[in-house]
Structure 1
Amino acid sequence: MAELFNSAIEALCDFVEDQHNEKIKVIKDIAAAAVGISILLWVIVIGMELWRVLVD
């Protein structure tokens, strides 16, 4: 889901500004970082659930 939002943000940025713009680059970097954080949190939750299942 986060990757879909990232793709939408990037497409919207490309539509609004087709020339190189440092502000657009920052916006795209933040959107990509949000995807990375979402993946990291997903891995942590899966790890916690596996731990709970295997220990109990």
Structure 2
Amino acid sequence: MIDPETGIPSLKAFRADGQRPSAKRLEQEVKARMPERSLMGIVARTAYWVEWWRRFGPPSGNEC
């Protein structure tokens, strides 16, 4: 909505009436199919695929 006096746009907060039964079923199905993961497993998997661990070390030219 745009304020008629100042012309500044703003967003109104949307309030939901509650969850639909289909949304609750979807949430239950997603939780049932999604495997449980540990934080260390997630870190290890991202390190393997992204190789972010290579970015940690001494700055270039500093071999101390």
TM-score (norm 1): 0.28
Q: Whose relative contact order is higher, 1 or 2, with alpha carbons under 8 Å and at least 6 apart?
A: 1
**More helix by proportion, 1 or 2?**
1
- Structure index of larger Rg: 2
